[in-house]
Amino acid sequence: MKNIKAIIFDFDGTIADTMPFLTRIAVKLITEKYNVSKEEAEKRYLGTTGLDFASQIGIIFPNHPYNSEVVSIFELKKVEGIFDRPVFPDVVNTLVYLKKRKIKTFICSSTKYEIVMEYCKLRGIDSLLTNIFGYKTGFGKYDQINFIVRELSLEPFEMLFVGDSLKDCDFAARNKINFIGISRIFKTEDFQKKGVSSVNNLKDIIKILK
């Protein structure tokens, strides 16, 4: 890890403390529209996090007639409340440290680019990041990471992706770069089953890099 020259951070649940908020919206919609229990709705939603919500619903309820309506409502509710959610307490200090170390930092996300960019500006962290990416049609999280990898022309061992979902681990693996999980919505044991390490917060990332 001492050779790391660039770190890509997931957005929701890693930089922004938004997952409890988003989970509440998703679970409410799923239980209301698909006649699924609250426990099952949460399990299915969290199990597909890392993907954009339309893809999540498409996986959970393939070709269901309510899907388009549910996705539209979710995205509307998301915009209404996401800008009130804080960044995690250790985000700013971590980004400041990495900038001083001249380690390039990026955000990638399954949340729409416009939302991620506005959020970062409102929280004053845009100036601490090398670049910010977010979801656009045909440009999901895997594509964003792949773009960063190609643009930087670094070796895989020189790059690190930090995310809070198991799908994030898959995105890193497909791009052949290092991955560390943040144990928030998933436990250390869940990441271990995927064969990767995890930490409890971003401050631990600094300890690993020292």
Greatest alpha-carbon pair distance for the chain in Å reads 52
Q: Where do the domains of the chain lie? A: 6-17+85-209, 19-84
> What confidence score (pLDDT) does residue 50 get?
93
Tell which residue, 172, 179, 176, 175, has the closest CA to residue 205.
179
What is the sign, positive or negative, of the torsion defined by CA atoms of 17, 57, 50, 80? negative
pTM of structure? 0.94
Joined together, the tokens standing for residue 149 give: 């990898």
Cα 27 to its chain centre, rounded Å, is 18
Q: Are 133 and 108 in contact (CB under 8 A)?
A: yes
pLDDT in tens, the chain (210 residues): 778 999 999 999 999 999 999 999 999 999 999 989 999 999 999 999 999 999 999 999 999 999 999 999 999 999 999 999 999 999 999 999 999 999 999 999 999 999 999 999 999 999 999 999 999 999 999 999 999 999 998 898 999 999 999 999 999 999 999 999 999 999 999 999 999 999 999 999 988 887
pLDDT of 153 reads: 87
Please give the pLDDT value at position 210: 79
Backbone angles phi, psi at 129, to 5 degrees: -105, 145
Rounded Cα–Cα distance for residues 166 and 170 (Å): 7
Which CATH code is given to the segment(s) 6-17+85-209? 3.40.50.1000
